[in-house]
Amino acid sequence: MSLPAPEEFLRIARGWADLGWVRALDVALAEQLHTLAPAPCSSCLLASVLVSHQAGQGHLLLNLTDTQRRPRAVIAVDPDTDRPDWPTPEALIDALVEPWASQLTAWAAVTDGAGSTPLVLIDDALYLRRYYRHETAVAEAVAHRLAEAPRLSADAVRPIADRLFPPADHPAEAAANATQKMACALAARSQFAVITGGPGTGKTNTVIRLLGLLQASALDAGHPTLRIRLAAPTGKAAARLDEAIGGQIDQLRTLDLPGGEALHQAIPREVTTLHRLLGARPGTRHFRHHAGHPLPLDMVVVDEASMVDIEMMTALLDALPAHARLVLLGDRDQLASVEAGAVLGRLCAQAEGGHYQAETAQWLQAATGEAVDSSLRDDTGRPLDQAIAMLRHSFRFDAGGGIGQLARAINTGDAQTALNILKAQDHDDLDYRGLHGADDPTVARLITSRADYPMRPAADAERAEWDAWATAILETAGQFQMLTPLRRGPFGADALNQQIEQALARTGQLGSAGPPGRWYAGRPVMVTGNDYGLKLMNGDIGITLRVPAPFGDPEQGEDLRVAFRSEGRVRWVLPSRLQHVETVYAMTVHKSQGSEFAHTALIVPDTAPPVLTRELIYTAVTRARERFTLLCASDRVLTQAIQRQVTRQSQLFS
């Protein structure tokens, strides 16, 4: 077939949007571009629809050659929904005859980056200008920091590093300590660094010791201590790090570091979200801090960096003063950010192999007394590789434990081994259960049999007692979490939450099932949008409780309040003030990122949606600290998911 005329193509594209193959937004872009700069041919409009669609899927660009070679990899459609007068995107891509890049180059809406055209074409990669600008800005900012001379000499690092990581008796612990020690030193050496590793590999321990090293070095040299902030992408991730760092900081007191009490006071104990750190302006994509008004800091540490998208990373680097350090922590194998750009994944693409140059290896040995393994040496390694440290030993998952073995099998794409581990029932920390449809009572049974909440205070109790009670309830509720890959459909979070509410009502744990979204005591909710007035951020989790109104005055009766743990204290909020929340007995795996639960259960549906990938399964498994349950409606779908790996289209750090 041949390509239709531009006006006819736009009619076809609107049909694609009606069928859900692309977004209405993707078609609107093509229509607007054709109005502002009439396209010379339909292939240009097709490219604009596809590059917008790719952005919606988390990609930064559209690779023209790959798209022509494998069109279904860009938009896979069900042929049963095709209509005779609406050719599929695949059919139109197959109809391209002339070189696609040449046709785009002739269009006024496209340049090679010069000017302000909406689209940018670099060789074979087509970008929306916004993402081209972000990708370029991040690459340049990181390269600038990597080009700076080492901040600390090996001689200055060695005595402090030896105190921070004292010798261990057990060989496995000694090996893990050596890896953390080298990661700590490597991060201290550079103005930009990444520490990556799976759950329990000691990323938090390493970074707290890094802060101790830097502050001790400053105090030992007679310099002021560094102004440091700890941040995370979501409120959940920030709260989790906030809980984890207290004990790690206290351990530094036992290590006889230079600076004494001044050092401990200089290490931050509060974790904020990136939005709060940068000063997000409500109703806009802008922040109070930027290049013209930089953060008054010397260093920023970002945990759960896999969740940071390209736009947020651009904003963070833009707001950092030229002298400031940036350290990113995260698991490169987790799900990438929901928005476009897998920044941490691109940074850590070569982390497994190390690729340390001779100079780096020599510096590390002098700074730590530990030799870099020959398998990690590469004299052609990039400057970026010299600032990436990978932690490889997990303290959370025992080498023989089920969760650790399962996570490794999933990470390597070995679906058969993963199934064997699950079905063998040989591990106390794993449970496999088949699901017979979305309404299988097994799902609700896991929720309704959860641990009892702590006893309620007396009606006339002081506010502090109610705060302690709410804190205990939030901790109890956070011990177990049901996860699903989907938001909609019979196996989606919306349907599961309704099913669970109905089951709780039948067991008498709720007054009645009621309509979705109604408020009742015990309802767990997640904030789905930043609310600066209430100081609640996207991802914050609260639980609805019945309490005296006002506290301590039983004469006034009782009322419902939602308790959140925010900035180190309990925040009580009237339900009527919460405009953007959803029930979270079950939540999507994407929303669970940055969280950790004692027991996690994942539902695998009976069909394989595109979102169900190796990274998603791995992320769900590694949210569990002590026990993981798989509720599987189809072994075939699970196998397909483990074998399907996400590859975000990007040229960042390539």
DSSP string, 135-162: HHHHHHHHHHHHTSPPSS-HHHHHHHHH
SS3 assignment, position 546: strand
User: Using CA atoms, how far apart are residues 242 and 180, in angstroms rounded to an integer?
Assistant: 20
* Domains of the chain with CATH codes: 6-123 (1.10.10.1020), 153-390 (3.40.50.300), 402-526+575-643 (3.40.50.300)
Tokens encoding 429: 């920390």
Position 555 confidence tier, pLDDT thresholds 50, 70, 90? low
What pLDDT band is residue 80 in, cutting at 50, 70 and 90? Answer: low
Task: Find all residues with CB under 8 Å of 84, minimum gap 6, and list them.
Answer: none
Largest Cα separation within the chain, whole Å, is 81
pLDDT of residue 450: 60
- Residue 198: the pLDDT is 84
What average pLDDT does range 595-622 have in this prediction? Answer: 88
Q: Write the CA distances from 68 to 64, 75, 94, integer angstroms.
A: 6, 12, 7
Q: Say if residues 597 and 544 touch (Cβ distance below 8 Å).
A: no
Residue 332, classified by CB atoms within 10 Å of its CB into exposed (0-12), middle (13-18) or buried (19+), is: buried
- Is 437 known to sit in a ligand binding site? no
Q: Is 292 annotated as a binding residue?
A: no
Give the pLDDT confidence of 427-457 residue by residue, as tens digits: 888 999 998 887 788 887 777 666 567 888 8
Residue 529 has pLDDT above 90, yes or no: no
Question: Would the annotation count 197 as a binding residue?
Answer: yes
Q: Respond yes or no on whether the N-terminal peptide bond of residue 550 is cis (omega within 30° of 0).
A: yes
For the cut 90, the answer to whether the pLDDT of residue 30 exceeds it is: yes
- What value does the mean pLDDT take over residues 361-386? 93
- Residue 123 dihedral angles phi and psi, to the nearest 5°: 55, -110
Question: Is 203 labeled as ligand-binding?
Answer: yes
> Does 225 belong to an annotated binding site?
no
Per residue in 403-434, pLDDT (tens digit) is 988 988 998 899 999 999 998 888 888 999 99
To the nearest whole percent, how much of the chain has pLDDT over 70?
A: 93
Q: Has residue 394 got a pLDDT over 90?
A: no
Instruction: Count CB neighbours of 455 within 10 A.
Output: 8
d(CA 558, CA 543): 16
pLDDT band, residue 226 (cuts 50/70/90): very high
* Torsion of the alpha carbons at 88, 94, 99 and 101, rounded to the nearest 10: 40
Of residues 273 and 320, more confidence is placed in: 320
pLDDT classification of 76: cutoffs 50, 70, 90: low
Residue 204 assigned as binding residue = yes
Question: Which residues are paired to 125 by β-bridges?
Answer: 63, 122
Contact 327, 207 (CB under 8 A): yes
Q: What is the mean pLDDT of residues 617-624?
A: 90
Token digits of residue 293: 């008004």
